């Protein structure tokens, strides 16, 4: 499912980029501030989510009609992006801003064979998880479209907004600055796994916002909540494999992230089956690392900026 596109690997990008870093590369790597970035991101998002969590447990009725709760939930999504904007400000960070614009606007970075992976890969994994659950009592009816899209309980409109807005807002920060700030000169798998742990932790306050998806997950079973947090890490490996294999394109990362969010709620998949899904994510991520180990274990792959030719 997550194997390289048909036609075999593109030899122009299949191996690590071993060209010597230019002045902009060295300056960009020197000027990245991962500590400042993730400190700001967590402070902004956790602070907003904490306000929403406290308020959600002290009001009744439609929680999202409460301005404090809705503002906290929406502003919390901006944390990764606001932190990126702050960290990219100033004359010294011009190379990073120039690289950011290129990652966002240069569609030639994306290899056409990756679009099916980004759009169809996660739904295919959901279908596989449902099929695996069937012998253990899971219904094939889980593949039916859900009648209620409910990231936020009782607020279908806001749920759809979050499903599409959250990936864009998050990836503009995560892919725009976050993951590359951790890159350094270590093998690529190291910052990817570190980012996975940080991204998982970023979700923690959401488990205490009453009526929100994560809180409902925890209320049903702590096992399901833990499975979600663990599942974020292999999902990070897959997302960043797509991101780096497409010249660090923010667009393809946003598309894949959006498909994950929408697919997770669009089908009537139970939380038990989602736990199977997280196991499949772990298997796919491990397979990617093994099959593309030269890329993941390279200390050169994915440096800033990565020279990428037009997608084929």
State the helix-helix crossing angle for 79-88 and 94-105, rounded to 10 degrees: 130
Mean pLDDT, residues 214-242 taken together: 96
Question: Is the model's pLDDT at 150 over the cut of 90?
Answer: no
pLDDT recorded at residue 264:
84
- Average of per-residue pLDDT across 22-46: 79
**What mean pLDDT, rounded, does the chain reach?**
84
CA 131 to chain centre: 25
3-state SS of the chain is CCCCCCCCCCCCCCCCCCCCCCHHHHHHHHHCCHHHHHHHHHHHHHHHHHHHHHHHCCCCCCHHHCHHHHHHHHHHHCHHHHHHHHHHCCHHHHHHHHHHHHHHHCHHHCCHHHHHHHHHHHHHHHHHHHHHHHHHCCCHHHHCECCCCCCECCCHHHHHHHHHHHHHHHHHHHHHHHHHHCCCCCCCHHHHHHHHHHHHHHCHHHHHCCCEHHHHHHHHCHHHHHHHHHHHHHHHHHHHHHHHHCCCCHHHHHHHHHHHHHHHHHECCCHHHHHHHHHHHHHHHHHHHHHCHHHHCCCCCCCCCCCCCCCC
Q: pTM of this prediction?
A: 0.84
What pairs with residue 267 in β-bridges? 145
Mean pLDDT along residues 167-177: 94
Kindly report, residue by residue over 257-280, the tens digit of the pLDDT: 999 988 888 888 999 999 999 999
Q: pLDDT per residue over 231-262, tens digit each? A: 999 999 999 999 999 999 999 999 999 999 88
Is a pLDDT exceeding 70 seen at residue 310? no
Domain ranges of the chain: 23-296
pLDDT of residue 185: 82
- For residue 309, what pLDDT is reported? 27
- 32 or 59, higher pLDDT: 32
**pLDDT computed for residue 14 by the predictor:** 39
Q: What is the pLDDT of residue 109?
A: 93
Structure confidence at residue 266 (pLDDT): 81
In sequence order, which residues have a C-beta less than 8 Å from that of residue 98 and are 6 or more positions away?
A: 24
pLDDT in tens, 151-160: 555 555 556 6
Which carries the bigger pLDDT value, residue 93 or residue 147?
93
Q: Is pLDDT larger for residue 254 or for residue 31?
A: 254
**pLDDT of 177-200, one tens digit each?**
999 999 888 899 999 999 999 999
Note the pLDDT of residue 161.
67
């Amino acid at each position: 499912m997550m194997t390289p596109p048909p036609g075999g690997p593109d030899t122009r990008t299949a191996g690590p980029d071993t060209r010597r870093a230019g002045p902009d590369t060295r300056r960009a790597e020197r000027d990245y501030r991962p500590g400042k970035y993730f400190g700001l991101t967590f402070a902004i998002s956790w602070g907003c989510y904490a306000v929403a969590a406290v308020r959600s447990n002290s009001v009744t009725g439609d929680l999202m009609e409460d301005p404090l709760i809705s503002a906290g939930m929406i502003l919390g999504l901006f944390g990764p992006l606001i932190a990126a904007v702050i960290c990219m400000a100033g004359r010294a960070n011009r190379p990073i801003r120039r690289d950011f614009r290129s990652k966002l606007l240069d569609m030639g970075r994306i290899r056409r064979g990756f679009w099916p992976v980004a759009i169809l890969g996660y739904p295919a994994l959901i279908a596989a998880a449902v099929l695996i659950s069937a012998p253990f009592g899971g219904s094939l009816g889980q593949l039916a479209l859900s009648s209620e899209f409910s990231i936020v309980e009782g607020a279908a409109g806001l749920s759809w907004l979050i499903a599409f807005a959250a990936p864009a807002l998050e990836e503009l920060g995560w892919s725009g600055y976050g993951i590359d700030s951790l890159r350094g000169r270590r093998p690529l798998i190291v910052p990817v796994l570190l980012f996975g742990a940080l991204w998982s932790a970023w979700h923690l306050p959401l488990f205490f916002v009453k009526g929100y998806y994560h809180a409902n997950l925890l209320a049903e079973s702590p096992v399901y909540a833990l499975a979600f947090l663990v599942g974020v890490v292999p999902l990070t490996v897959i997302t960043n494999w797509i991101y780096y294999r497409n010249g660090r394109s923010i667009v393809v990362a946003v598309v894949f992230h959006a498909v994950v969010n929408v697919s997770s709620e669009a089908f009537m998949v139970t939380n038990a089956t989602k736990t199977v899904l997280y196991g499949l994510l772990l298997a796919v991520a491990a397979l990617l690392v093994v099959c593309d180990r030269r890329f993941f274990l390279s200390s050169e792959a994915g440096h800033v900026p990565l020279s990428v030719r037009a997608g084929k």
